[in-house]
C-alpha cells in the first residue's frame, strides 16, 4: 500500500498525528499534484509540519496549479500574520536611510506597492520571496545564513565594490571587517550596487540597517550611479582622509577566524600553514596544542584580572609587547577571544607581515592541534550512527570559537593510506626517541591506527553545526601538484586576496628551506611533490590498505581518489577476517612499542615475586592479550560497518560530506591527482 493511501485511511480513522506523518512521507516519495495538494492541506489543518505544506504550495503554484486557492491561502496563513512586522521594519529602515548621507535616492516605494512580497518561513530570518509582476515564488532566503558567499576582498587596490548584497550576515561582515577610512588615511568606504530601486526597497522589509549605518562606511549606488565609484570624498563632501595617520590593528578589529582543522594526523597541515604564513591580511601562528592554548589564555586573563594596575600587568606579561598588554588591560569585559588575538598579534613575525595600511582587518588563522583524533561510533535505531570525538567536543565547547562571529573553515585531506603510513611512522619514531636513556618524555606507543583511520569520518559534517556552515575540504595532493590553482581557489573561498606570499612556504615571513622537525623529513617544504608519492611501505601493508580503502570507499569516490589496493570486489565477514589476519605490519609496531607498558610490571605469586623467566612470560602474555583484544575490536567494528551505516548528528539529521574545493581547470599545471 502506498503512503498516500495509508495517510487517507489514518485520516479517516481520526488518527491525525500518524496521518500527518504518512502524508509527509507521501510528499517525500513524490506524490502527484493532487496528492501533494491533499497532503499539504491536511498537514496544515491538523498541526503537522507546516514546512511540508509550505513547500508543496510554493512548488504547485510555480507549476501553475491551484493558483486561485494557493496564493490567498499562503497570504492568510503565512503573510498576513507577519505583515505588520514587515511593514514596521520597512518604514524604520526607510526613515534611517532618508537621513543617511550616502544613499542618493529618497523616493521610497510605498509598502503596498513593493514589487517583492516576503513570506516568512521560520523563526530564523528565513523567507520565500514572491515576485508580483512575474507571479512566481523565488528560492528560499535565510538573511542570517552564516556563510560569506563570495570573494569580497579579492582586490584591495580600490575600495570594496559589491553588487546585490542582501544578506544581513554578509552586510554585517563587511562593516565589521573593512577598516574605517580614518584608520588607514585614505578613502575606504564599502560601495554596494543595486540595479533595481524597487527590488532594493523590497529587501528593506527583511534587513536591520541601524547598526550597519552607524559607522557610515556604506555607500549605496543604484542603477547608473555605479559610474560614481569610487567617490572623491574630499571634493564631494569636503572630507580629507589623508590627514589621518595610519592606526595599528586593534584587538577588537579582529572579528573573523580562519579555522584550519585537523582532519586527522599527518595530512600536510604544516604545508598549508607555511603557504599562508606571511599573508598581509592574516595573523598566522604555528599550529598549537589546543589544551595548551586554552590554558595560556586562561592564565593570561587571570593575570590581568589580578593585576593591581596596568604597569604590574605589563611587568608580569613581559613576553608580550607593552602596547598589546595595555590595550587588553583597558578593554571592558575582556574575553578569551580578546586574549587570543592579543597573543597572536604579539607573536614573532606578525608585526612584520600584517599590514596596518590594508583596507581590511586581518583574520586570525588558527590551527588548534591534538595529539590524535579518535572517533567512536554510537549506534542508534535503523543503522543510524552518531560520530563522537572528545577533540571535537572540546572545540565546540570552547569559548574562543563561540566568541568569533565570522568563521571560515578549511580542512586539508591527504590520501588515507598515505596519511595512515605517515602516522605509524611518526608514532614509531617518537617511541624510539623516548626510549633513549636520557629521555624524560611520556610514553608514546603505536595505537590501532588502522581502525582509528577507518572510524574517523570527520570529513562528514553536520549541516546544523555553525563551525562547519562555511567550510571546504582541500586535498593535500592538489596543493602540492597544482599550487597556483589550489591556493587561488582557497583564497577566494576564505575571502582573501591571492598574494605573492602564497607562492612559497615561509615561517614568520621568512622562506622555509627545510623542515624543522625530524618526523617531517619526508614532507618537502613548499611545493615539493615528494610526499604525494611516498607510500611508507615499511609502516603499512596491502591488507591494511585494502581494508582502509574499502571502508572509506564513499570518501574516495566523493573526493576524487582512485583505489590503489581495493579491487572493487564485494566484501563479507569472511573477507574481513582474512584481511584482519593480515594486519601484520601494524601489529608488529604495536607489539614493539606497547611492550614498554608491561616491561616494568612485577609479577607475584602468594606475595612472592616470581622468577625473571616467568615474569617475562606473563608480560608477553599481557601484551598478546592486548593484541587479541585489538583483533576482536576490529572484527566487531567491521561487522557494524558492513551493515551500511547512516551517519547522523545528535538530533538524528543526516551528516553530509564537506564540500571539496574545486579548482579552475584553466589554471591547472598538471593533471588532477587521482
Which of the 8 DSSP states describes residue 99? T
The answer to whether residue 527 is domain-embedded is: no
Extract the residue ranges of the chain whose pLDDT is less than 50: 438-440, 515-523
Residue 536 φ/ψ region, left for φ over 0, alpha for ψ in the -120 to 50 degree band, beta for the rest = left
**Nearest residue to 588 (alpha-carbon basis) of 428, 456, 444:** 428
Q: Is the peptide bond before 230 cis (omega within 30 degrees of 0)?
A: yes
Return d(Cα 554, Cα 657) in angstroms, integer.
10
**Nearest residue to 596 (alpha-carbon basis) of 443, 446, 449, 447:** 443
The answer to whether residue 33 is domain-embedded is: yes
Question: Dihedral through CA 205, CA 206, CA 207, CA 210, nearest 10?
Answer: 50
What's 176-216 look like in SS3?
Answer: HHECCHHHHCCCCCEEEEECCHHHHHHHCCCCCCHHHHHCC
SS3 content of the chain, % helix, strand, coil (to 5): 50, 15, 40
Terminal Cα distance for the chain, rounded: 46
Query: Residue 382 has which C-alpha cell?
Result: 535503523
Block residue for cell numbers 614568520: 508
526 close to 505: Cβ distance less than 8 angstroms: yes
The answer to whether residue 27 is domain-embedded is: yes
**Nearest residue to 494 (alpha-carbon basis) of 164, 154, 267, 177:** 154
Question: Dihedral through CA 622, CA 626, CA 628, CA 634, nearest 10?
Answer: 180
The answer to whether residue 13 is domain-embedded is: yes
What's the pLDDT score for residue 540? 98
456 contacts: CB under 8 Å, gap ≥ 6: 263, 264, 373, 374, 375
**Nearest residue to 391 (alpha-carbon basis) of 433, 452, 307, 309:** 452
Return d(Cα 337, Cα 230) in angstroms, integer.
35
Return d(Cα 275, Cα 284) in angstroms, integer.
10
448 close to 633: Cβ distance less than 8 angstroms: yes
> Beta 604-605 vs 608-609: how paired, if at all?
antiparallel
Main-chain phi, psi angles of 238, to 5 degrees: 75, 25
Return d(Cα 449, Cα 128) in angstroms, integer.
48
Return d(Cα 428, Cα 336) in angstroms, integer.
36
- Beta strands in 425-534, from DSSP E residues, in sequence order: 460-461, 471-475, 506-507, 510-511
The answer to whether residue 159 is domain-embedded is: no
Domain that holds residue 39: 1-65
The answer to whether residue 40 is domain-embedded is: yes
The answer to whether residue 624 is domain-embedded is: no
**Nearest residue to 519 (alpha-carbon basis) of 441, 448, 591, 423:** 423
Tell me the whole-structure pTM to 2 decimals. 0.92
Which of the 8 DSSP states describes residue 632? H
The answer to whether residue 78 is domain-embedded is: no
> Beta 406-413 vs 376-379: how paired, if at all?
unpaired
Return d(Cα 463, Cα 467) in angstroms, integer.
9
Query: Residue 406 has which C-alpha cell?
Result: 565570522
Looking at the structure of the chain, the number of domains it has is 1
Cα atoms found within 13 Å of the Cα of residue 187, Cβ hemisphere only: 19
Amino acid at each position: 500500500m502506498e503512503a498516500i493511501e495509508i495517510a487517507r485511511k489514518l485520516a479517516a480513522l481520526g488518527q491525525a498525528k500518524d496521518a500527518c506523518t504518512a502524508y509527509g512521507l507521501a510528499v517525500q516519495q513524490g506524490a502527484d499534484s493532487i496528492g501533494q495538494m491533499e497532503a499539504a492541506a491536511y498537514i496544515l489543518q491538523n498541526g503537522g509540519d507546516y514546512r511540508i505544506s509550505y513547500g508543496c504550495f510554493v512548488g504547485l503554484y510555480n507549476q501553475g496549479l491551484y493558483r486561485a486557492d494557493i496564493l490567498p491561502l499562503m497570504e492568510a496563513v503565512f503573510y498576513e500574520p507577519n505583515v505588520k512586522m514587515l511593514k514596521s521594519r520597512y518604514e524604520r529602515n526607510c526613515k534611517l536611510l532618508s537621513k543617511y548621507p550616502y544613499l542618493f535616492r529618497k523616493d521610497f516605494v510605498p509598502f503596498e506597492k513593493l514589487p517583492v512580497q516576503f513570506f516568512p518561513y521560520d523563526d530564523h530570518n528565513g523567507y520565500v520571496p514572491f515576485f508580483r509582476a512575474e507571479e512566481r515564488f523565488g528560492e528560499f532566503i535565510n538573511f542570517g545564513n552564516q556563510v560569506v558567499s563570495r570573494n569580497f576582498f579579492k582586490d584591495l587596490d580600490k575600495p570594496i565594490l559589491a553588487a546585490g548584497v542582501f544578506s544581513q550576515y554578509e552586510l554585517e561582515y563587511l562593516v565589521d571587517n573593512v577598516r574605517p577610512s580614518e584608520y588607514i588615511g585614505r578613502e575606504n568606504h564599502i560601495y554596494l550596487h543595486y540595479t533595481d530601486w524597487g527590488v532594493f526597497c523590497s529587501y528593506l522589509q527583511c534587513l536591520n540597517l541601524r547598526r550597519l549605518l552607524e559607522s557610515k562606511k556604506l555607500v549605496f549606488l543604484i542603477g547608473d550611479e555605479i559610474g560614481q565609484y569610487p567617490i572623491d570624498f574630499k571634493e564631494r563632501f569636503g572630507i580629507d582622509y589623508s590627514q589621518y595617520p595610519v592606526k595599528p590593528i586593534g584587538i577588537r578589529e579582529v572579528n573573523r577566524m580562519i579555522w584550519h582543522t585537523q582532519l586527522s594526523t599527518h595530512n600536510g597541515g604544516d604545508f598549508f600553514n607555511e603557504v599562508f604564513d606571511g599573508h598581509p591580511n592574516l595573523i598566522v601562528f604555528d599550529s598549537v596544542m589546543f589544551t595548551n592554548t586554552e590554558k595560556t589564555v586562561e592564565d593570561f586573563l587571570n593575570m590581568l584580572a589580578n593585576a593591581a594596575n596596568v604597569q604590574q600587568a605589563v611587568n608580569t606579561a613581559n613576553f608580550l609587547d607593552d602596547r598589546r598588554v595595555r590595550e587588553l588591560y583597558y578593554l571592558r569585559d575582556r574575553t578569551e577571544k580578546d586574549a587570543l588575538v592579543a597573543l597572536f598579534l604579539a607573536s614573532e613575525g606578525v608585526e612584520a607581515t600584517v599590514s596596518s595600511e590594508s583596507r581590511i582587518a586581518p583574520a586570525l588563522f588558527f590551527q588548534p592541534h591534538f595529539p590524535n583524533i579518535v572517533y567512536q561510533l554510537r549506534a542508534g535505531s535503523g543503522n543510524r550512527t552518531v560520530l563522537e570525538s572528545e577533540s571535537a567536543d572540546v572545540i565546540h565547547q570552547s569559548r574562543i570559537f563561540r566568541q568569533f562571529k565570522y568563521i571560515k573553515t578549511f580542512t586539508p585531506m591527504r590520501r588515507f593510506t598515505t596519511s595512515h603510513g605517515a602516522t605509524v611512522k611518526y608514532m614509531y619514531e617518537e617511541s624510539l626517541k623516548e626510549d633513549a636513556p636520557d629521555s624524560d618524555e611520556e610514553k608514546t606507543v603505536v595505537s590501532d591506527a588502522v581502525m582509528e583511520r577507518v572510524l574517523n569520518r570527520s570529513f562528514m559534517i553536520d549541516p546544523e553545526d555553525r563551525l562547519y556552515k562555511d567550510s571546504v575540504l582541500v586535498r593535500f595532493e592538489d596543493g602540492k601538484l597544482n599550487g597556483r590553482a589550489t591556493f587561488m581557489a582557497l583564497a577566494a573561498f576564505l575571502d582573501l586576496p591571492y598574494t605573492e606570499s602564497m607562492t612559497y612556504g615561509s615561517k614568520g615571513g621568512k622562506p622555509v628551506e627545510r623542515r624543522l622537525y625530524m618526523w617531517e623529513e619526508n614532507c618537502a617544504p613548499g611545493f615539493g611533490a615528494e610526499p604525494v608519492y611516498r607510500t611508507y611501505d615499511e609502516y603499512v601493508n596491502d591488507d591494511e590498505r585494502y581494508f582502509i580503502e574499502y571502508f572509506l570507499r564513499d570518501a574516495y569516490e566523493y573526493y576524487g581518489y582512485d583505489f590503489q589496493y581495493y579491487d572493487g570486489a564485494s566484501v563479507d565477514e569472511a573477507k574481513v577476517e582474512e584481511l584482519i589476519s593480515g594486519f601484520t605490519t601494524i601489529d608488529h609496531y604495536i607489539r614493539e612499542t606497547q611492550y614498554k607498558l608491561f616491561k616494568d610490571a612485577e609479577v607475584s605469586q602468594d606475595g612472592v615475586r616470581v622468577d625473571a623467566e616467568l615474569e617475562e612470560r606473563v608480560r608477553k602474555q599481557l601484551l598478546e592479550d592486548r593484541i587479541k583484544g585489538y583483533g576482536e575490536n576490529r572484527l566487531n567494528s567491521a561487522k557494524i560497518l558492513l551493515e551500511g551505516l547512516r551517519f547522523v548528528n545528535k538530533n538524528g539529521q543526516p551528516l553530509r560530506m564537506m564540500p571539496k574545493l574545486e579548482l579552475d581547470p584553466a589554471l591547472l599545471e598538471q593533471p588532477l591527482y587521482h
